[in-house]
Structure 1
């Protein structure tokens, strides 16, 4: 293993990544919770929201940071 230099990561990229990662994983966990609560429609909506958020995250990264 080696040391990774993260000093070149901009604040905007870090904040964007953190916000989208929190959004995506919270929607996934909410979807799993709703499935265990037998509320399948709300669970599928949460899973769909996570997928849409992932696609938007990819588009934002491609447009602003690449």
Structure 2
């Protein structure tokens, strides 16, 4: 294993990644929880929100950081 230098990662990229990771995985877990509670409509909306958030995250990354 080698050391990885993360000093070149900008603070904006770090914050953006952290916010979107928290958003996407919280929506996924909320969707799973809603499905177990037999609230299928809100579960599918949460899954859809996670997919939309993922697409927005990729678009923002491609537009601002690549």
- TM-score bracket relative to the smaller structure: over 0.9
Structure 1: unaligned runs, 5 residues or longer: none
Instruction: Tell me the TM-score normalized by structure 2.
Output: 0.99
**1:34 alignment counterpart:** 34
Structure 2 spans left out of the alignment, 5+ residues: none
Deviation of 1:59 after TM superposition, in Å, equals 0.2
State how 1:1-66 maps to structure 2 within 5 Å.
Answer: 1-66=1-66
Task: Provide the aligned C-alpha RMSD in A.
Answer: 0.3
> Alpha-carbon deviations, 1:20-66, whole Å to 9, x = none?
00000000000000000000010000000000000000000000001
Moved over 4 A (4+): none
